[in-house]
Amino acid sequence: MSLSKNIRALSLLLLLVPFFVQARVAVAAEEGEQLDTVGHTADGFYLDFAPFGSIELPRIFLARGEDGGLRLDAYSSTAAALRSGEYAIVHTADEQTELVTDEAVIEEMIAHHSHLYSSIAPLAGEIVVDFSITRHLVFGVLAALLVLLIFIPLGRRYRTPEARKSAPHGIFQNMFEAAVIFVRDEIARPNIGEKYERFLPFLLTAFFFVLFSNILGLVPYAGAATSNLSVTLVLAAFTFILGQVYASKDHWKHIFWPPGVPFAVKFILIPVEFIGLFTKHAALAIRLFANMMAGSLVILSLIGLIFTFNHLFGGGVASGVAPVSIAMTLFISIVKLLVAFIQAYVFTMLSALFIGMAVAEHHDHEGAEPHDSQDHHNFSPALTMDGQTSQFEVAETHGEPVLAG
Amino acid sequence: MEATALAWLGAGLGAGLVALGAGLGIGRLAGPAMEGSARQPEAAGDIRTSMIIAAALIEGVALFGLAICFLLAIK
């Protein structure tokens, strides 16, 4: 079968997908059942594979006992933690919190899966740190494993000097070498300058981890680790620490004694610059987090429209709204794919920019100078009309010896 | 009016204003970007890259506002 026929068949199949989804959602709306779209976007203690069931994730607690000693409790699931008799569900009613210890009530909650949505607490003592494995942790580790799985074999191919001099072969190597060279030449070198090689491992890791994590958010049944504020804050913290550890003296001088401003203004500018250092990196984290979270929430709102219409106007109107809603969801999903790539690029570029600003050593801050990444030879003829076109003269003087000899 | 109702009202109005701000900001940068690409097609690649970076930064600011609206709506 030719490629165009394959593409046509695939696009026909894709066009049919909205109708399958619409059928299920419309039926659910008519029956008045709850479609849990929020549960999949937020973090949780279970992995949901919708028609097939769900897997509960292990709970790990660092708890302090009544005698003041610390202990590490590990359970294979929330249900196991509740059934062990040492943990109970916290029930808040009218600002009164009590522990539900009745086994029958707990078993009923487990049967209805509502035990995963409430917090649990130990019967004796308190939880110091909750190390439980959550959905975002699982998918973050999965993204990290994917990065390792792809780049360790890729790095091995460049081990011998002969391999480094020859052209890459194969789709796999070519694709990722193109991406790595893109990060090096378009992101690292223009923004950091001569010292870019030291920061290239971090920038590459950040770029590919964020990219794979964002794309995992689009896969059905999987989620994006970067839609968790903690993950993005840690990534921004890495950028911050790298920049400050390798900062030049000029960096601190420019923050605490800005040059080129009138004396009185300096005292207003110093706190602004200092706080700006932190807000720039916090903005880095929040930008990535909000972009990832917003994509999921827009889809939630669009599908929730069907249920709202069902509640307000009944099943017939809801079935009519469903195709429009699903079509918009499809469009937003495509936008989410674009946003996944763009946000990975913007995160890495701004990280490189901040590191470059901190590491820069020149007294005259000229910003990012394009060193040799631009071709200076294609000036338009108007610019070199001063009678001498130097490049042609060079070519002629080089040409003569060859002809004479 | 109770605090919850005011919070929800604030969240809704805020989200609308955020969308307005983001749309205006990115629209103002997309127009001249198109004109520049039309005037000088060789520079279209550079213009497109700069446009995407600026759009992502503007969208970042818009999403800060959105995050605050969410905090209002949830609390």
Same domain, A56 and A143: no
pLDDT category at A207 given cuts 50, 70, 90 is very high
CA distance A119 to A328: 35
CA distance A46 to A221: 11
Among B48, B53, B71, most A C-beta atoms within 10 A, so best to mutate, is: B53
Same domain, A188 and A224: yes
pLDDT tens for each residue of A340-377: 999 999 999 999 999 998 988 866 544 444 444 444 44
The answer as to whether A272 is a domain residue is yes
Residue A118 near residue A89 (C-beta atoms within 8 A): yes
pLDDT of the residue at A341: 93
The answer as to whether A308 is a domain residue is yes
pLDDT of the residue at B52: 84
Q: Is residue A24's pLDDT more than 50?
A: yes
**Residue pairs spanning A and B at CB distance below 8 A:** 34
Please report the residues numbered 25 through 54 in chain B whose beta carbons come closer than 8 angstroms to any beta carbon of chain A.
49, 52-53
Same domain, A129 and A157: no
Which range has the worst mean pLDDT, A108-117, A221-230, A285-294? A108-117
Same domain, A119 and A250: no
ipTM: 0.80
**Among B49, B52, B60, whose Cβ lies nearest the Cβ of A287?**
B60
Same domain, A153 and A238: yes
Touching check for B64 and chain A: CB below 8 Å?
yes
Smallest CA–CA distance, residue B73 to chain A, in Å, is 13
Same domain, A56 and A105: yes
CA distance A198 to A212: 23
Residues of A with CB under 8 A from a CB of B: 186, 283, 286-287, 290-291, 294, 297, 342-343, 345-346, 349
pLDDT of the residue at A160: 83
**Residue A369 neighbours by CB under 8 Å, 6+ apart:** A193
Same domain, A164 and A115: no
Q: Which residue, A85, A117, A133, sits at the end of a domain? A: A133
Compare A36 and A232 and report the one with higher pLDDT. Answer: A232
Touching check for B17 and chain A: CB below 8 Å?
no
The answer as to whether A8 is a domain residue is no
Same domain, A141 and A91: no
Same domain, A76 and A187: no
Number of domains in chain A: 2
pLDDT of the residue at A18: 57
- Side-chain half-sphere of A66: how many Cα atoms within 13 Å? 4
pLDDT of the residue at A195: 87
Touching check for B67 and chain A: CB below 8 Å?
yes
- Residue A253: give the domain boundaries: 136-359
Q: Which amino acid is at A299?
A: I
The pair of three-digit structure tokens given for residue A46, joined into one six-digit string: 């279970």
The pair of three-digit structure tokens given for residue A329, joined into one six-digit string: 């969801």
Smallest CA–CA distance, residue A129 to chain B, in Å, is 24
Same domain, A60 and A106: yes
Among A346, A349, A375, A378, most B C-beta atoms within 10 A, so best to mutate, is: A346
Which range has the worst mean pLDDT, A100-109, A139-148, A370-379? A370-379
CA distance A383 to A361: 33
3-state SS, residue A261:
coil
Backbone angles phi, psi at A157, to 5 degrees: -70, -20
Compare A328 and A249 and report the one with higher pLDDT. Answer: A328
Residue A120 near residue A82 (C-beta atoms within 8 A): yes
Q: Is residue A199's pLDDT more than 90?
A: yes
Place of tokens 């006992």: A65
Residues A228, A232, A234, CA angle at the centre, nearest 5°? Answer: 115
pLDDT of the residue at B36: 94
The answer as to whether A21 is a domain residue is no
Distances (CA, A) of A367 to A107, A121, A380, A381: 64, 53, 26, 29
CA distance A167 to A221: 38
The answer as to whether A218 is a domain residue is yes
In chain B, which residue's Cα lies nearest the Cα of A291?
B63
Smallest CA–CA distance, residue B54 to chain A, in Å, is 9
Domains and CATH numbers, chain B: 3-74 (1.20.20.10)
β-bridge mates for residue A98, sequence order:
A91
pLDDT tens for each residue of A377-393: 444 444 444 544 444 44
Instruction: Report the pLDDT averaged over residues B36-56.
Output: 89
The answer as to whether A371 is a domain residue is no
Q: Which residue, A97, A118, A133, sits at the end of a domain? A: A133
Q: Is residue A94's pLDDT more than 80?
A: no
Same domain, A260 and A275: yes
The answer as to whether A181 is a domain residue is yes
Q: Which amino acid is at A132?
A: S
Which residues of B fall within a CB distance of 8 Å from A346? 52-53, 56-57, 60
**Among A186, A286, A342, whose Cβ lies nearest the Cβ of B56?**
A342
Write the DSSP string, B10-44.
HHHHHHHHHHHHHHHHHHHHHHHHHHHHHH-GGGH
The radius of gyration computed from the CA coordinates of chain B, to the nearest angstrom, equals: 17
Please tell me what DSSP assigns to residue A115.
Answer: G
Q: Which residue, A77, A106, A133, sits at the end of a domain? A: A133
Q: Is residue A59's pLDDT more than 70?
A: yes
Same domain, A109 and A146: no
The answer as to whether A76 is a domain residue is yes
Smallest CA–CA distance, residue A291 to chain B, in Å, is 7
